[in-house]
A = this chain, B = another copy of it.
Amino acid sequence: MSLPSKENFSEWYHEVIQTAEIMDVRYPVKGLYVWFPFGFKIRQFVYSKLREIMDREHDEVYFPALIPETELGKEGEHIKGFEDEVYWITHGGLTPLDVKLALRPTSETAMYPMFKLWVRNHADLPLKVYQIVNTFRYETKHTRPLIRLREITSFKEAHTVHKNFEEAEEHVKKAIGFYKEFYDFLAIPYMVIRRPEWDKFPGAAYTIAFDTVMPDGRTLQIGTVHHLADNFAKTFEIKYEAPNGEHYYAHQTCYGISERCIAALISIHGDDQGLVLPFEVAPIQIVVIPILYKGKEEAVMDACKKLVDKLASFRVILDDGEERPGAKYYKWELKGVPIRFEIGPRDAEKGVAVASFRDEKKKFEVSIDEINDDLIWQWAQIMRERLFTSAANRILEKIKIVKSPDELKEWVGKGVAIFHLCNNEDCGLSLEEHGGSLLGWFEEVPEWINLDVEGECIVCGSKGKVAALARTY
């Protein structure tokens, strides 16, 4: 059973999720999936990195999953944004509840009534916490594992409280830095884009998003950072006493990454043979395969065991099963094992192993004596850079600079259109009529986009900045 070609991305994705044992899609409720043990391990390694980054300056906490309707409804914009997609709990056992409970779609309204109690004095600020929790959305559109689903099983959400707008804005920049580090680690190229007014987080002053480009040219939002100003602070009465004795409303930020980061990891790096995983997040990092011929088994197995022993600090397995080598290659390629060693009788005699990397076809000989932890980590680093470069190259093919609405209209079915756009809402909305969504304006224009930071709006000709439009997931 082989995978569909990745050119049919949607089929490939659905199939690789199940076959590589990321998630079992056969759970009997639409939009809910089961993490297989193998997928769960990837999730753990990816989220360990995210935790490591967060732990540097946030405290991990846990707030309840159930939010009373009275709290969820307090911030007018916010509830408008979520009321259609919230799951409502109306009964405990057979008893109707006095106050309906929402299953958290996100935790602002669970946390901020408590922040009111936690923040008293300027010395309590900044307050920076995060949690990694399951969140719920009643998705009515087409659902897809890890991308659009009804239980997001691992939403990392951070929430911070600051003295004023400027300090919160400084922190927004820091948060963007955290997310860059995280996606650089996963070798996933991204665009950092400020969303248009009509697409910001409900209740925020502004929203900055990380978007990556999927193999079919549609973009996937893989992270967001919101400046909340004092909007929620006013609703939930989060005030602090300044050194001058006056009381001021605090300013807040929040920023989140969901398991879409794993959807991106799989989609951006995978190929027709299956998963391609960066070394650090691969559940199995190295596989050693003996090539056995009758009468020469012992020397080969000795050499393999010697190699496996040398690699004990990694997640390594010796595959000495009964299958033919070809079947083993197939199996471990599907699972994205980054480094493979094979040892046959002649290799064992020469004291070498034949190495190959999951993302490259070529094999090469390496002396077993020379293999050590440093060498493996060098390879891992080079591999990450190579993964990033080839991902970026594939993405560039899906990106086009367009000079007019007509050119945009022609391209929009194929990938991401990049252009200058003014901040007149009508100009942006008029472009969305050609299909796709206006992602917004780049926070920093990446080098690989060959456009001046400023230029004439392709709609009205007035002063504009670099913007992007695409069909989105």
A454 CB, nearest partner CB in chain B, Å: 42
Instruction: Indicate if A350 sits at the interface (CB-CB under 8 A).
Output: no
Is A84 touching B91 in the complex (CB atoms < 8 A)?
A: no
Measured in the bound complex, the distance between the Cα atoms of B103 and A34 in whole Å is 16
Residues of B within 8 A of A62 (CB): 34-35, 40, 43, 153
Instruction: Indicate if A280 sits at the interface (CB-CB under 8 A).
Output: no
Q: Closest residue to A133 on the B side, CB-wise?
A: B134
Quick one: copies of this chain in the complex?
A: 2
Residues of B within 8 A of A68 (CB): 28-29
Counting from the closest, the 6 A-B pairs by CB-CB distance are A92-B138, A37-B59, A35-B62, A32-B64, A84-B93, A88-B91
Residues of B within 8 A of A84 (CB): 93-94
Contact with B along A124-141 (1 / 0, CB 8 A): 000001000110101010
Task: Other than A27-B114, A29-B64, give 5 A-B pairs with Cβ distance below 8 A.
Answer: A26-B114, A28-B113, A40-B59, A86-B92, A95-B140
Measured in the bound complex, the distance between the Cα atoms of B130 and A40 in whole Å is 11
Residues of B within 8 A of A32 (CB): 64, 66
Residues of B within 8 A of A99 (CB): 29
Measured in the bound complex, the distance between the Cα atoms of B71 and A32 in whole Å is 14
Residues of B within 8 A of A27 (CB): 63-64, 110, 113-114
Instruction: Indicate if A471 sits at the interface (CB-CB under 8 A).
Output: no
By a beta-carbon cutoff of 8 Å, the part of chain A in contact with chain B is: 24, 26-29, 32-37, 40-41, 43-44, 59-66, 68, 70-71, 83-95, 99, 101, 103, 110, 113-114, 117, 129, 133-134, 136, 138, 140, 150-151, 153
A132 CB, nearest partner CB in chain B, Å: 11
Residues of B within 8 A of A85 (CB): 92-93
Q: Which listed residue, B26, B64, B70, B87, touches A92 by the CB 8 Å rule?
A: B87
Is A114 touching B34 in the complex (CB atoms < 8 A)?
A: yes
| Contact status of A71 and B28, CB under 8 A, knowing A61-B37, A90-B91 | yes
Q: Closest residue to A58 on the B side, CB-wise?
A: B37
Measured in the bound complex, the distance between the Cα atoms of B87 and A353 in whole Å is 58
Measured in the bound complex, the distance between the Cα atoms of B93 and A84 in whole Å is 4
A309 CB, nearest partner CB in chain B, Å: 21
A108 CB, nearest partner CB in chain B, Å: 14
Residues of B within 8 A of A61 (CB): 34-37, 40
| Contact status of A26 and B117, CB under 8 A, knowing A87-B91, A138-B93 | yes
Q: Closest residue to A32 on the B side, CB-wise?
A: B64
Residues of B within 8 A of A88 (CB): 89-92
Residues of B within 8 A of A110 (CB): 27
Measured in the bound complex, the distance between the Cα atoms of B93 and A140 in whole Å is 10
A411 CB, nearest partner CB in chain B, Å: 35
Measured in the bound complex, the distance between the Cα atoms of B93 and A34 in whole Å is 24
